[in-house]
Amino acid sequence: MALQNRLKPLLFHIIVLGLGLLMLYPVFWLLSSSVKPTTEIFTSKGLWPSAITFEHYHNGWFGLRNIQFGRFFLNSIMICVLAVIGTIISSSMAAFSFARIDFPLKKLFFALMLGTIMLPGHVTLIPQYIFFHKLGWVDTFLPLTVPKFLGDAFFIFLIVQFIRGIPRELDESAKIDGCGWLTLFVRIILPLSSPALITAAIFTFMGTWDDFFGQMIYLSDVNKYTVPLGLRLFLDSSGSSNWGSVFAMSVLSIVPSLLIFFLGQKYFTQGIATTGIKG
Amino acid sequence: MQKYKTYLAGYLFLLPWLIGFVFLCLSPIAASLYLSFTNYDLLTSPKWVGLANYRAMFTDDYRMMDSIKVTFQYVFLSVPLRLVFALVVAVVLNQGIRLLGFYRTIYYIPSLLGGSVAISVLWKQVFGKEGIFNQALAWFGIDGPNWVADPRYAIFSLVGLSVWQFGSVMIIFLAGIKQIPGELYEAATVDGAGVMRKFWRITMPLLTPVIFFNLTITLIQSFQTFTKAFIISNGTGGPINSTLLYSLYLYIKGFSFHEMGYASAMAWVLLVVVALITGIMFLSSRYWVFYSDGRE
């Protein structure tokens, strides 16, 4: 009986860990293939390379004519940083308004805002494209960044839920001290909402980083390409001849997401659990 | 006076979202409805054709038929599988509290990376003729096909990629399970209920709101899957339309063939289908979703 009680948790851990590692096996394989000598990638059975080489990283980084992968990273980072700043400012403003200020038609707007969360993006996609086309914004970063400064329904909802948890007495005492709405927002509500803001920032960054579709339809000049577009271009140009470099660049393209995930893990799980963002 | 100042403040804070709502949501919805009744190639002005786009979709567009078939296959295979995996693993993880955070991270990583181009590229290799999936099958003496290039199986590699990302759904289930009062399980144990009985009689009923939530969200998202199908099929939806998910076909129509009117009609059909399914979900929920606070 005593033995059984000790064996059961052990068995549990072995199964759960084993299944988890099995699921991650493709990712480990990607990692190992990126440092294996080319001849070994599809022939060797194991994960462990006979020799570690970084030539795939070098060849991949400098693998395209006239342009380096660094350019794609700079472009992606620029778009993501603007997207995060825009989303945080505009979504927190709207959330503050919904959560704390009373004005006519508030309920209607709130319901409409929630409704847009469920709306498939396809319905707005084509007119938006035509609109940006008419503005002359196609093949610039503007269609990928400016809309982020106009709020995101999902994050507005997330922040509203959070602000509702902040005691209203704080608002009252701030008003007695003569604070206006702006001071209340900037000095009190924003600092107290930082967990929700960080969650929104993380998800915005990752969503924008992986937004292959949006970047593909709006960007066509290679110099403006982002990491996902660069990776696809590289895949097409080097094709099956150079898988090592494709894998090496694939690894680099997922590093930012992993890094942010491990830095902000606490906010991550909270964010998913409360809103159901898929990530 | 004070009152109007408050109103003004409310609208000022809401202004960025309001502008976005009007220009990036409301008017595009109206515009796409109008465009769906026209032929429009972005260069010449839209030409009114009435219901022709809708009629063409369901009568003489054979690729459309393939696309609808593939999309339903994808959605109705991947959504239940993803939810079942997520629920089972969540329930199992909840048993052993130690290292929960660690395991949660491991199982979440596929969801974290799954939407990227890198993983789709990888997936194409994993399920290729010489890929690691077939290497594993070879241990059991099975000679696997090239899963990605065979029209009979290509959709299953997409389903597999989707199910592989069950981690985010699992985290929501874990949060839901944590809300179930422990006393219920203690009382059931005292009454002699086994593990399975506790699962079916306590966990499942109390988790129905979370299941409902996950089911709705996952369904809506699955109808809109794009990147996987695009990368794995090189943007073609092939072989023989076997991975032509609806979003991919919409993209091809709108942005490769510049049939913006037709693509808008497709978007509206998608909207109606998603709305119908969501509606049916909500209507059916009163028969199977159980709110412990007595809310209907």
Is residue A35, in this structure, part of any structural domain at all?
Answer: no
For B107, phi then psi, to 5°, come to -75, -20
Q: Which residues of chain A have a CB within 8 Å of the CB of B254?
A: 125-126, 129
CB distance B118–A151 less than 8 Å? no
CB distance B106–A24 less than 8 Å? yes
Please tell me what DSSP assigns to residue B136: H
**The residue type at B28:** P
Q: What is the mean pLDDT of chain A?
A: 87
CB distance B168–A272 less than 8 Å? yes
What would the two tokens of residue A266 be?
């606490």
**pLDDT, tens only, A5-23:** 677 778 888 888 999 999 9
CB A117 within 8 A of CB A155: no
User: Which candidate from A23, A42, A243 shows the least CB-CB separation from B110?
Assistant: A23
Q: Model pTM?
A: 0.88
Q: Which residues of chain B have a CB within 8 Å of the CB of A250?
A: 117-119, 121-122
Residue B1: the pLDDT is 73
User: Which candidate from A113, A254, A276 shows the least CB-CB separation from B172?
Assistant: A276
CB distance A279–B112 less than 8 Å? yes
Q: How much of chain B exceeds pLDDT 90, in percent?
A: 47
Please report which confidence band the pLDDT of residue A4 belongs to, taking 50, 70 and 90 as the band edges: low
A156 CB within 8 Å of a chain B CB: yes
User: Which candidate from A90, A124, A151 shows the least CB-CB separation from B28?
Assistant: A124
What would the two tokens of residue B9 be?
């403040």
User: Which candidate from A254, A274, A277 shows the least CB-CB separation from B118?
Assistant: A254
Q: Which residues of chain B have a CB within 8 Å of the CB of A45?
A: 135
Residue A276: the pLDDT is 56
| Domain count along chain A | 1
Residue A279: the pLDDT is 40
Q: Which residues of chain B have a CB within 8 Å of the CB of A9?
A: 96, 98
- Residues B30-48 have a mean pLDDT of 93
CB distance A122–B23 less than 8 Å? no
Residue A175: the pLDDT is 83
What would the two tokens of residue B158 be?
């997409």
Suggest the residue from B11, B14, B234 to mutate for an interface test with chain A (most A CBs closer than 10 A). Answer: B14
Q: Which residues of chain A have a CB within 8 Å of the CB of B135?
A: 45
Q: How far apart are CA B159 and CA B121, in angstroms?
A: 15
Is residue B5, in this structure, part of any structural domain at all?
Answer: no
Question: A-B interface: how many C-beta pairs under 8 angstroms?
Answer: 244
Q: How much of chain A exceeds pLDDT 70, in percent?
A: 92
Is residue A88, in this structure, part of any structural domain at all?
Answer: yes
pLDDT of A1 over the 70 cut: no
Domain that holds residue B220: 61-288
Domain that holds residue A179: 67-273
Is residue A278, in this structure, part of any structural domain at all?
Answer: no
**pLDDT, tens only, A219-239:** 999 999 999 999 988 888 776
A14 CB within 8 Å of a chain B CB: no
Please report which confidence band the pLDDT of residue A241 belongs to, taking 50, 70 and 90 as the band edges: low
Q: Indicate the range of A42-56, A220-234, B143-157, B236-250 predicted with least confidence.
A: A42-56
Residue B181: the pLDDT is 87
Residue B136: the pLDDT is 84
Q: Which of A217, A200, A226 is nearest to A72 (CA)?
A: A226
- Residues A135-146 have a mean pLDDT of 96
Residue B10: the pLDDT is 94
- Residues A170-191 have a mean pLDDT of 88
Q: How far apart are CA B159 and CA A239, in angstroms?
A: 25
> Number of H helices and number of E strands within chain B?
15, 2
**Comparing A122 with B2, which gets the higher pLDDT?**
A122
User: Which candidate from A128, A253, A278 shows the least CB-CB separation from B118?
Assistant: A253
CB B247 within 8 A of CB A122: yes
**A219: helix, strand or coil:** coil
Q: Indicate the range of A87-91, A129-133, A240-244, B64-68 predicted with least confidence.
A: A240-244
Q: Are strands B47-48 and B38-39 parallel, antiparallel or unpaired?
A: antiparallel
- Residues A151-155 have a mean pLDDT of 92
What would the two tokens of residue A161 be?
């839920």
Suggest the residue from B43, B112, B272 to mutate for an interface test with chain A (most A CBs closer than 10 A). Answer: B112
Suggest the residue from A11, A96, A126, A245 to mutate for an interface test with chain B (most B CBs closer than 10 A). Answer: A126
pLDDT of B128 over the 60 cut: yes
Burial readout B2-15 (b: 16 or more C-beta within 10 A, e: otherwise): eeeeebebbbbbbb
ipTM of this predicted complex? 0.87
Please tell me what DSSP assigns to residue A239: G
Q: How much of chain B exceeds pLDDT 70, in percent?
A: 98
Please report which confidence band the pLDDT of residue A44 belongs to, taking 50, 70 and 90 as the band edges: low
Please report which confidence band the pLDDT of residue B296 belongs to, taking 50, 70 and 90 as the band edges: very low
CB A204 within 8 A of CB A155: yes
CA distance B59 to chain A (A): 22
pLDDT of B294 over the 60 cut: no
- Residues B107-111 have a mean pLDDT of 90
CA dihedral over B282, B286, B289, B290, signed as positive or negative: positive
A272 CB within 8 Å of a chain B CB: yes
CB distance B13–A25 less than 8 Å? no
For B207, phi then psi, to 5°, come to -95, -5
pLDDT of A278 over the 50 cut: no
What would the two tokens of residue A90 be?
């505009």
User: Which candidate from B9, B117, B230 shows the least CB-CB separation from A181?
Assistant: B9
| Domain count along chain B | 1
Is residue A33, in this structure, part of any structural domain at all?
Answer: no
**pLDDT, tens only, A67-123:** 888 999 999 999 999 999 999 999 999 999 999 999 999 999 999 999 898 888 899
B-facing residues of A in 186-205 (CB < 8 A) are none
Is residue A58, in this structure, part of any structural domain at all?
Answer: no
Residue B99: the pLDDT is 81
Q: How much of chain A exceeds pLDDT 90, in percent?
A: 49
CA dihedral over B203, B204, B206, B209, signed as positive or negative: positive
Is residue B108, in this structure, part of any structural domain at all?
Answer: yes
- Residues B30-55 have a mean pLDDT of 93
Is residue A255, in this structure, part of any structural domain at all?
Answer: yes
Is residue B241, in this structure, part of any structural domain at all?
Answer: yes
Contacts of residue B109, Cβ cutoff 8 Å, sequence gap at least 6 = A24, A27, A258, A261, B167
Residue A172: the pLDDT is 85
Is residue A125, in this structure, part of any structural domain at all?
Answer: yes
Is residue B34, in this structure, part of any structural domain at all?
Answer: no
pLDDT of A271 over the 70 cut: no
**B290: helix, strand or coil:** coil
User: Which candidate from A29, A129, A228 shows the least CB-CB separation from B132?
Assistant: A29
Task: Give the domain CATH number at A94.
Answer: 1.10.3720.10
Is residue B41, in this structure, part of any structural domain at all?
Answer: no
Q: What is the mean pLDDT of chain B?
A: 89
CB distance A20–B106 less than 8 Å? yes
pLDDT of B295 over the 70 cut: no
Task: Give the domain CATH number at B90.
Answer: 1.10.3720.10
Residue A195: the pLDDT is 87
pLDDT of A156 over the 70 cut: yes
pLDDT of B98 over the 90 cut: no
Q: Which residues of chain A have a CB within 8 Å of the CB of B42?
A: 130, 133
**Comparing A123 with B236, which gets the higher pLDDT?**
A123
- Residues B238-248 have a mean pLDDT of 90
CB distance B113–A257 less than 8 Å? yes
- Which residues are paired to A64 by β-bridges? A67
CB distance B32–A123 less than 8 Å? yes
CB distance B28–A254 less than 8 Å? no
**Shortest CA distance from A229: residue in chain B:** B117
